[in-house]
Amino acid sequence: MAGRAKACVFCGIAEGEATHLVHADGEIIAFLDHAPLLKGHVLVAPREHVETFDDLPERLVGPLFTVVQRVARAFPRALGSDGSYTGINTRVSQSVPHLHVHVVPRTKGDGLFRAGMVWVRRRYAEGEAAQLAARLREAIAAS
């Protein structure tokens, strides 16, 4: 992998460190967020260390957003969601300095947005993340 940043957790995931992967190819990885906004919240990132959206090489724009779209399309089939929310933080609120796109499954009345944007983090029950990751992998592969 080109250009791993020292101690970058997402570079580690791209190199095979344990996580709940839902997609992996030569350029892009997608995995469950460890502290999801809603259960099934996926992060999509380039394998290559790219700090911000502004730094994303043009050659990776298509591959990155193709996977974002595939994940979003998989939510209804895998999770029964009504739609999705997609977002990118660039520097401000970017907790990991490695570009990643948040793809969050949505259902009407899910409480994600209350009086504006409120990021309420949740935790998975034991074994739940592995089950959701498997369902998403299957739905992404079928798309």
Residues with catalytic roles: 100
The burial class, CB within 10 Å (0-12 / 13-18 / 19+), for 73 is middle
E-assigned strands of the chain? 21-24, 28-32, 42-46, 83-87, 101-106
* C-alpha neighbours within 13 Å on the C-beta side of residue 127: 0
Extended strands (E) in 28-135: 28-32, 42-46, 83-87, 101-106
The residues, ordered by sequence, that sit 6+ positions from 123 with a Cβ below 8 Å of its Cβ are 35
* Structure-derived torsion over alpha carbons of residues 85, 20, 37, 119, reported in degrees to the nearest 10: -100
